[in-house]
Amino acid sequence: MIGAFTIAIAVNQTVAIVFLAFISFLALKEYLSLIPTRRIDRGLLLFAYLAIPLQYYWAAIDWYGMFIVFVPVWLFLFFPALMALRGDTRGFLRAVGTLSWGLMLTVFALSHMAMLLVSGNTANPVAGGVGLLFFLVVLTQFNDVAQFTWGKLFGRHKVTPTVSRKKTWEGLIGGVLTTVAMAAVVGPYLTPMDIWWSAMAGAVLGIAGFLGDITLSAVKRDLGVKDTGGLIPGHGGILDRVDSLTYAAPAFFHFFRFFFMP
Amino acid sequence: MSRNPFIRLLRFLFFAVVVRAVILVALGLTVRNRERLPKDGPALVVANHNSNLDALALMSLMPLKLLSKIRPVAAVDYFFTSKAKAWFVTNIIGIIPVKRGSAKEGGNPLLACEEALDRGEILVLFPEGSRGEPETLGKLKKGIGHLACARPKVPVVPVFMHGLGKALPKGSSLLVPFNCTASVGEPLYGTGTYNEFVAALEETMIKLGEEEKKPAWE
């Protein structure tokens, strides 16, 4: 996936945004296929998919104001009202809750990657939004591998035995520290952050990535599935690929925006 | 099916481009045990029926080089309602038309199917007869038993499909993207009586369906 991602961001910004929107589409489709749904909501779910091109369009035209309220305010209000107007109240709250959460996670949270790509250009004159996005995605993936490796080698004490048996404190701490070191090395080249700010960004990414991972694990546990789909045989579905990014993308974006965007 | 090379090219393009794009992008089809699908004809591929997309999805599971041999079996009364529809399902989809209920009139409604198997074709068939309740397996009709026992050497490959009835159910023309799965079972042969065969097939299909994790859809 990182290969396809690199090609997409190397071609041009529009291709990259379409690619990122497609990842959101795959993630939302997988999510809606895994959760219990009501037959009456079938047509309405098509509207949920339409949220993706709109949300990524706000990012593409660099309209931060609309980007940040579209899903959490407008869609949050729109879908429950639409469901209410259709008149079926059985399982209403579950349907509203699962749809809203899924949109927030797969559309809103992931679209922060596109927003970072577009709005990062002015704050990062040398490497641009591409540099920031590359920093985010590569380090998040790196952090997954680092946590896995540290856990495999030294893992003893489980963080959340009921959610994920593989996550250990040794893996988490070792992984985050490795990510911090890696971020401190590459950050000054890819972003306007110096070595200390880069290290802090690495810590944000490492911890957020871990939280995204266990949150999706909890969802899978609840639904009773081992992996989320068959995108790549043996590697689970798209949600298994982007679970860390669902948390790391918004966390890094808002960390960077708060400290480095005028 | 037409012998006109232009129509055959159209059929190839329809399946190679349109069907594959829709299945890949809008649906996303996970196949379990793909290697159990027939590598050549004659063969029967049978599946549960929930959606108009079922036949297209099943046909897309097999390699394109087999396309000219793959024929879905479909009811005349449903598809031959207009000239355009009849042309499309005959020439592009390439169906073998079957007249529902014609066994009562004394003829063999499956004669065309038997002839196609003798020509080495791969038939795609839905033994439930019609699409029935969404996402559930209805009672199997006896026709598949007669056909399997008439050609006992032909493998009958059961496939259980899930998700297509959510994506495009009966009574709707609005395609909503959902991930779908197709689980392929071990082939069966019509060696005993047709009743035994239908019972064995039904049992296999139910088992295939139970192995699949299906979220609630109420």
SS3 label, residue B22: helix
pLDDT of residue A227: 62
- Does residue B14 lie in a domain region? yes
Q: Which of A25, A45, A237 sits opposite B176 (nearest CB)?
A: A45
Exposed, middle or buried, A26 (CB in 10 Å: 0-12/13-18/19+)?
Answer: buried
Q: Tell which of A42, A99, A231, A241 to mutate to test the B interface (max B CBs under 10 Å).
A: A42
Strand arrangement, sheet containing B156-162: B29-32, B180-184, B156-162, B43-47, B122-125, B70-75, B96-98
Element (H, E) at A167: strand A164-168
Number of domains composing chain B: 1
Q: Band of the pLDDT at B171, cuts 50, 70, 90?
A: confident
Does residue B164 sit within a domain?
yes
Say what the pLDDT of residue A55 is.
Answer: 97
Tell me the HSE value of A15 on the side-chain side, using a 13 A CA sphere: 10
| B216 domain-assigned | no
Residue B217 is assigned to a structural domain of this protein:
no
Q: Among all chains, which residue has been given the structure tokens 């393009």? A: B13
| Residue A259 bridge partners (DSSP) | none
Please indicate whether, in this complex, the C-beta atoms of A42 and B163 are within 8 angstroms of each other. Answer: no
Determine how β-strand B180-184 pairs with β-strand B156-162. Answer: antiparallel
The CATH number of the domain holding residue B204 is 3.40.1130.10
In angstroms, rounded to a whole number, what is the distance separating the alpha carbons of residues A96 and A102?
Answer: 10
Instruction: Tell me which residue of A177, A175, A174, A183 sits closest to A202, measured CA to CA.
Output: A183
Q: Which long-range contacts (CB under 8 A, 24 or more apart) does A200-205 make?
A: A200/A255, A201/A135, A201/A252, A201/A255, A201/A256, A202/A139, A202/A176, A203/A176, A203/A179, A204/A248, A204/A251, A204/A252, A204/A255, A205/A136, A205/A139, A205/A140, A205/A143, A205/A179, A205/A248, A205/A251, A205/A252
pLDDT digits (tens, 9 = 90+) for A156-215: 889 888 888 889 999 999 999 999 999 999 999 999 999 999 999 999 999 999 999 999
Chain A CB contacts of B181 under 8 Å are 230
- Name the band, by pLDDT with cuts 50, 70 and 90, for residue B77: confident
CB contact under 8 A, B217 and A36: yes
The verdict on ipTM greater than 0.90 is no
Q: In the beta sheet, which residues pair with residue B45?
A: B124, B157
Across chain A, mean pLDDT equals: 91
Query: Which amino acid, residue A189?
Result: Y
DSSP state of B139: P
Residue from B43, B41, B42, B39 nearest B62 by CA: B39
Q: Which structure tokens are listed for B63? A: 């390699």
- Token look-up 């690199």 returns A6
B104: confidence class by pLDDT, cuts 50, 70, 90: low
pLDDT above 50 for B92: yes
Q: Check pLDDT > 80 for residue B95.
A: yes
The whole-number pLDDT of residue A182 equals: 96
Q: What is the pLDDT of residue B85?
A: 86
pLDDT-derived band at B107, boundaries 50, 70, 90:
confident
Q: Which domain holds residue B147?
A: 5-211
Least CB–CB distance from A229: residue in B169, B172, B179: B179
- Using DSSP, state whether B63 is helix, strand or coil: coil
Contact between chains at A29 and B179 (C-beta distance less than 8 A): yes
pLDDT in tens, A65-100: 999 999 999 999 999 999 999 988 999 999 999 999
Is A44 a residue whose pLDDT tops 90?
yes
